């Protein structure tokens, strides 16, 4: 005599005393791995069906023209004079990777969290940044580098 499927169905589980909450939790926890598996299968299918293509890019053999003038802004936090000098050096490396053309570079600074609007070392750090940027402008003979330091404000707690 056939007793039915070896795995009990949801109806049999209800009759066996497994309530709707445990079944809902089991279904919810099964949903995450199932969606991960489905996502992986779709990704594999797309990779197998769609061939890779090269993305178009600009070829600027003579540097950046004036019509494509670019301003590269590097955000940073001023923590110490050594940190500021390292950021100035990295700004110079950015310039040296594109020395020809119309590209300008800015060092956008921010300050660490503090209990007051200005800290005693802020002026020293800003002075180091301005001196470093001025040295880069003098070294390369044109004004391509800019320090940008927004005024800080103390927010009430």
Q: What is the pLDDT of residues 34-77, one digit of tens each?
A: 999 999 999 999 999 998 888 777 777 777 788 888 888 989 88
Give me the domain span that covers residue 21: 10-49
Q: Is residue 40 part of a domain?
A: yes
Are residues 70 and 124 both part of a single domain?
yes
pLDDT score, position 7: 56
Comparison of pLDDT for 79 and 2, the residue scoring more? 79
Distance (Å, rounded) from C-alpha 156 to C-alpha 151? 16
Helix axes 81-97, 122-140, angle to 10 degrees: 30
Task: Quote the pTM value.
Answer: 0.58
pLDDT at 89 over 90: yes
Grade residue 138 by pLDDT with cuts at 50, 70 and 90.
Answer: very high
Task: Give 13-29 pLDDT, tens digit per residue.
Answer: 556 667 778 878 888 88
CATH number at residue 137: 3.40.50.2000
Are residues 39 and 80 both part of a single domain?
no
pLDDT score, position 16: 63
Comparison of pLDDT for 114 and 77, the residue scoring more? 77
CB 64 within 8 A of CB 70: yes
Are residues 90 and 143 both part of a single domain?
yes
pLDDT score, position 125: 87
Q: Please count the other Cβ atoms lying within 10 Å of the Cβ belonging to residue 128.
A: 20
Are residues 34 and 92 both part of a single domain?
no
Distance (Å, rounded) from C-alpha 101 to C-alpha 122? 34
Q: Can you list the alpha helix ranges (DSSP code H) found in 2-143?
A: 10-15, 20-49, 81-97, 122-140
pLDDT at 82 over 70: yes
Comparison of pLDDT for 7 and 87, the residue scoring more? 87
Are residues 23 and 78 both part of a single domain?
no
CB 124 within 8 A of CB 109: no
CB 155 within 8 A of CB 114: no
DSSP-derived 3-state class of residue 76: strand
| Sole residue written with tokens 């940008």 | 148
Q: Is residue 157 part of a domain?
A: no
Distance (Å, rounded) from C-alpha 46 to C-alpha 32? 21
Number of domains present in the structure of the chain: 2
Q: Is residue 60 part of a domain?
A: no
């Amino acid at each position: 005599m056939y007793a039915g499927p070896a795995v009990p169905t949801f109806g049999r589980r209800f009759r066996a005393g497994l309530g709707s909450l445990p079944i809902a939790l089991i279904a919810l926890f099964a949903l995450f791995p199932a969606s991960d598996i489905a996502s992986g299968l779709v990704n594999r299918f797309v990779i197998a069906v769609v061939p890779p293509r090269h993305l178009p890019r600009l070829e600027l053999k003579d540097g950046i023209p004036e019509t494509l003038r670019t301003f590269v802004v590097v955000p940073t936090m001023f923590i110490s004079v050594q940190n500021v000098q390292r950021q100035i050096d990295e700004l110079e490396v950015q310039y040296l990777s594109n020395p020809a053309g119309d590209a300008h570079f800015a060092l956008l600074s921010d300050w660490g969290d503090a209990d007051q609007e200005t800290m005693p070392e802020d002026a020293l750090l800003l002075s180091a940044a301005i001196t470093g940027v001025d040295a880069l402008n003098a070294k390369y003979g044109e004004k391509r580098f800019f320090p940008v330091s927004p005024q800080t404000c103390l927010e009430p707690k």
